[in-house]
Amino acid sequence: MSTSTKPQTVAVHAGSRLTGSKSQPVVPHIQMSAVSFFENSDELDEALDGKDYVYSRIAAPNAALLEEAVAALEGTEACVAYSSGMAALRAVFDAQRLRPGDTLVMPADGYGVTRLLFKNLAERAGARIEALVLSEPSAPERLRALRPRLVLAESITNPLLRVPDLEALSRACREVGALLAVDATFPSPHGQRPCALGADYSIQSTTKWLNGHSDALGGTVSGSREKLAPLRSARLLNGDVLGPFEAWLTLRGVRTLPVRMKVHAENAAHVARRLSDCKLLSRVHYPGLPDHPDHAVARRVLHGGFGGMVAFDIQGAGRPECFRFLEAVKLARAAPSLGDVGTLVMHAASASARRMTPEERQAAGIGESLIRVSVGLEDPDDIADDLIAAVSEAVKR
């Protein structure tokens, strides 16, 4: 530490170290410094190989704490954090180094932006994409016939809430030498651990349930140290790192994840039952309902409830009626995300499926009448009353 009393030097160096305290903070500090220094050159040399924190593109304390927590929740050896869920998906794709003639399988009824991303990446690589409804009983046999290099599944599909049998899919993937990546954002690690069911990668958009408060973007990929090593090495070069404040906010959310998800799931089940009695709806989508096509599978592959997402089709509605619904809600908020403590609603065709072509939406069964609901922590009857009243307002002639 400099002993100079010159103002320019004091302004730069004074107040940069805490001394004389033995306190241990209950909450980790936000380590905002992008670079650290070492008084011992050998220690600096080792840090540049990732053995300590010296430059936040190599490794950063807050992101490392989040990775440790998410890996523990996922039940995996390791985790790599990214600046967004889409960045995490891109990292998994890039790590496979697909070549011309390789096949990639992804859900036909999944998140539209993921589909567009993988279509663009596969086109550049010369790889072929096959879009399948992976919740169909025939899906494992289709995988065996296609012999893909990579399969992407969604634990609960966005926005139709179908639930594939990950155990059956993983067996088929192993038989043909394919890697199975699972976007498990909808159930969160509290609701499903895909790697325990045979998946090679579990992917989270931490922006959603893990953060839980709609105030930090982020994404993670969890799995074995061996499979994540190429992703970590690639991140060192491409710099797609999670910032310290976002990591800190997300770790704060992780602390209450089991408590929040229990109530989200209980509220969603109650809301789904209430909506099932509404004559203005043609269908309610929720894996916890006995008439859901994947209810039996969901009971086996999901734990901790059936998640906090509900979807429904408004009887005879098109886009104008659905937009009126979005404007009519009082308690819920119309927003294209999920996982917040408050209830969020969106029109699926114009939001989550916006980047799909009309033909792709039709093939997936995503119609103009579909509304997706991220059920919050409010009183469940208040939520249901608000949704039903908004539907009634939307369909008035």
Give the residue numbers marked as catalytic. Answer: 57, 111, 183, 208
Place of tokens 């967004």: 84
Per DSSP, the residues of 221-276 read EEE-HHHHHHHHHHHHHH--PPPHHHHHHHHHHHTTHHHHHHHHHHHHHHHHHHHH
* Residue type for position 298: A
Q: Are 242 and 69 in contact (CB under 8 A)?
A: no
List all residues 6 or more positions away from 265 whose beta carbon is below 8 Å from its beta carbon: 191, 288, 304, 305, 306, 307, 308
Which residue in 96, 115, 206, 191 sits closest to 153, CA to CA?
115
What distance lies between CA 276 and its chain's CA centroid?
A: 27
Number of H helices, E strands in the chain: 15, 12
Q: Omega into 159 within 30° of 0, i.e. cis? A: yes
CB atoms within 10 A of CB 347: 25
Query: Which residue intervals of the chain bear CATH 3.40.640.10?
Result: 42-254
What is the per-residue pLDDT for 242?
A: 97
Amino acid identity of 65? L
Round to whole Å and give the CA distance between 166 and 242.
29
**Residue whose pair of structure tokens reads 């976007």 in the numeric block:** 183
Q: What's residue 385's pLDDT?
A: 98
Chunked into runs of 10 residues, the chain (397 residues) has average pLDDT values of 75 71 83 92 92 92 94 96 98 97 96 94 97 97 98 97 98 98 98 98 98 98 98 96 97 95 98 98 98 98 96 96 97 96 95 84 88 97 98 90
Torsion sign (Cα): 94, 96, 98, 103 = negative
Alpha-helical regions (H) of the chain: 7-13, 41-47, 61-74, 85-96, 112-125, 139-146, 166-176, 188-191, 225-238, 244-254, 257-276, 295-301, 319-328, 358-364, 380-394
Q: What's the pLDDT at 1? A: 59
- The pLDDT score that the predictor gives to residue 11 is 64
Closest CA to 266 of 336, 191, 154: 191
Residue 384: per-residue pLDDT: 98
Decide: residue 49, CB within 10 A, 0-12 exposed, 13-18 middle, 19+ buried: exposed
Bridge-partner residues for 128, per DSSP? 103
Residue 397: what pLDDT?
Answer: 60
Domain with CATH 3.90.1150.10 in the chain: 257-394
Q: In the CATH hierarchy, which top-level class contains the domain 257-394?
A: alpha beta
Name the amino acid, one letter, at 142.
R
Query: 3-state class of 330 per DSSP?
Result: coil
Alpha-helical (H) ranges within 290-379 are: 295-301, 319-328, 358-364
CATH number for 42-254: choose from 3.40.640.10, 1.10.10.10, 3.30.1490.190, 1.10.600.10.
3.40.640.10
d(CA 374, CA 209) in angstroms, rounded, equals 10
d(CA 373, CA 118): 26
